[in-house]
Amino acid sequence: MEQDFAQARRLMVEHQIRARGVSNERVLAAMREVPRHLFVPEDLRSAAYGDHPLPIGEEQTISQPYIVAVMTELLSPEPGDRILEIGTGSGYQAAVLGRIVREVWSVERIASVAAQAERNLEAVGTANIHVVVGDGTLGLPEHAPYDGIIVTAAAPSVPEPLFDQVADGGRLVAPVGSRHLQDLVCYTRRGGDFVVRSWGGVAFVPLIGTYGWEG
């Protein structure tokens, strides 16, 4: 069975991710290595490597593999980086990042979701990912600045505290728009300014919090 999952991962990377233009070799390697099936409910494991998101409970989802790869590539993670993730979910995005960077801090609003993510991450043997329960729209200033910030839920605009926590030269990747459709945007810090690049349309669950949507 594990061999079947490993083959499914290789096919996922080649046909869903590389074939659509993702070319960062660190990202592709991480996507090949992380066992995505261990981050979805057991009854959905046979669908773990499909080209779609999946529900993980509490009205949350694990993103489509391609979108995980795109967001990771936009972040341009380097081995020495410290990354902040807003919205831990299943822990899969953090696990992918954790294969590339030095350290990941991840904030999850829902305690039960955070607890399951920690179990998932423990099951795959990660040691450089820290999950914190809290309001992700406030960021995690006690460990700032971050070389990259990735937001895995949709906000009407990027929460202002997150901009303050990006290191100079760092990037912030977030879906911004309505509750139902957003634009995936990458902000790169250049001193006191940000260079903005839009990737295209996406659909994420809403980011709930002080600087997000009301619950």
Number of domains in the chain: 1
pTM, full prediction: 0.96
Instruction: Select which of 63, 76, 90, 106 is catalytic.
Output: 63
Q: Is residue 212 included in any domain, yes or no?
A: no
Judge whether 63 counts as a catalytic residue: yes
Q: Is residue 215 included in any domain, yes or no?
A: no
CA atoms within 13 A on the CB side of 17: 29
Q: What pLDDT digit, counting tens, does each position of 2-32 carry?
A: 779 999 999 999 999 999 999 999 999 999 9
Q: Is residue 80 included in any domain, yes or no?
A: yes
Phi, psi of 48 (to 5 degrees): -60, -30
Q: Is residue 168 included in any domain, yes or no?
A: yes
Q: What pLDDT digit, counting tens, does each position of 171-192 carry?
A: 999 999 999 899 999 999 999 8
Q: What pLDDT digit, counting tens, does each position of 108-154 carry?
A: 999 999 999 999 999 999 999 999 999 999 999 999 999 999 999 99
Q: Is residue 59 included in any domain, yes or no?
A: yes
Q: Please check whether residue 1 is in contact with residue 48, taking contact to mean a CB–CB distance below 8 angstroms.
A: no
Two tokens, residue 132? 């914190």
State residue 215's pLDDT score: 75
